[in-house]
Amino acid sequence: MLLSDAAAIERIFDHIDNRTTDLGDTIWRAPVEHYYSQERYDAEIALLRRLPVPYCPSAALPEPGSFVARTAAGTPLLVTRGADNKVRAFINACRHRGMQVAEGSGCSKAFTCPYHAWTYNLEGALKGIPGRAGFADLDPTDHGLAEVTCAEVGGIVYVAQNGPIDETTLVDPLTYFSPEQTLFEEEEMLDEANWKLINETAQEGYHIKALHKETFYPYGLDNTTLVEAYGANSRIIFPFRRIEKLRDVEPAERRLDGVATSVYHLFPNVSVSVLSKHTNLTILEPLSPTKTRWVIYRLFNRQVGESPITLEEAQRDARFVNDFGQDEDRQAARAIQEGVATPANSHFTFGYYEKAIVNFHQHLAKHLDS
């Protein structure tokens, strides 16, 4: 169970007063070849296909007919909200000659293959074949879109390409997005870096002053974080300097909203970052051992008080994060990638300040060994 806002803030104040931070109890050494090996990459892709992995927020599928088509773990997928309001996931490949039947996102009553116009409904059933006489022996009921396992839990749509989903493992400890949170922006980015290098940048505050001296550090604290692991997942809270204004607020009335960034790492390749005005769902899609696509969904934060957050405020909040601190993290990951195959290091060392990263690597190793 994660700490309440009041308990988390009290622990942060204790760290500030004593110049401490949450510490792990294990040092982890990751072989550098894990960041460029094709064999390791193939094993990780197989894992991403086997596990339930967040695909998009529920807010990206707001009504029946809504769909999102993109590639996940190397597989083109199509996720739809049916007329019955249920979310389903399919391999995005026509059952005639394999052409993708949808691209991007939007709202549609059906999906028509652009190659030969075979048509499928929102539930994936084959409903139309031009020149039906040319396929006399074909049974349409056996040629619907190939379905994969899908679940909608806590405001997130999860997909498991090669296995079942145990929803009980997804609901604890919290709901990440509430129904009133709406999507205001989507973005994709490419980086020449292994997905784990990018993943690691958001899981520790040890680098805040050194890497973000003129961007995040003037507003935040260096190496002062609260880290809670829940299974393979973790929450890392990065307090802002303005958290000090809560010193005079009754402990039971204290809230993290606006005074900290909370990053929930959802194992293995997804994070939910709760910022001042908006929340990101960020998916790191590995494209090769040394290339990663970011898929980012930005939602308005839950309303606090009577004044709703405006689009301008949310976009300004997002631009600050994206154009300053996050860009520095991306540059660091790319720079590290350039040197991983050199003789400089046989492994990377993650110490007590990097508790969440150690938790990530421990569970990644456990899953890959199982």
Can you spell out the DSSP letters for 198-224? HHHHTS-STTHHHHSTTTTTTTB-TT-
- Which of 298, 253, 306 minimizes the C-alpha distance to 275? 298
Spatial neighbors of 112 by CB under 8 A, at least 6 apart, are 101, 118, 119, 120, 128
Question: In the structure encoding, which two tokens stand for residue 299, read together?
Answer: 């939602």
Question: In the structure encoding, which two tokens stand for residue 62, read together?
Answer: 């707001």
The domain over range 53-169 is classified in CATH as 3.40.50.720: no
Helices (H), the chain: 5-18, 38-50, 195-201, 208-211, 311-320, 326-339, 355-369
- Burial of 352 by CB count in 10 Å (0-12 exposed, 13-18 middle, 19+ buried)? middle
Domain 5-50+178-369: CATH superfamily is Naphthalene 1,2-dioxygenase Alpha Subunit; Chain A, domain 1 (3.90.380.10)
Q: How far apart, in Å, are the Cα atoms of 9 and each of 172, 226, 256, 267?
A: 22, 9, 7, 25
CA distance 317 to 306: 19
Taking 70 as the pLDDT cut, the residues of the chain under it are 171-174, 304-306
- The pLDDT assigned to 308 comes to 84
C-beta separation of 181 from 309 below 8 A: no
CA distance 171 to 229: 15
- The pLDDT assigned to 325 comes to 79
Q: What are the beta bridge partners of residue 57?
A: 156
Portions of the chain given CATH number 3.90.380.10: 5-50+178-369
C-beta separation of 87 from 61 below 8 A: yes
Q: How far apart, in Å, are the Cα atoms of 240 and each of 144, 314, 367?
A: 51, 18, 35
Q: Phi then psi for 86, rounded to 5 degrees?
A: -85, 140
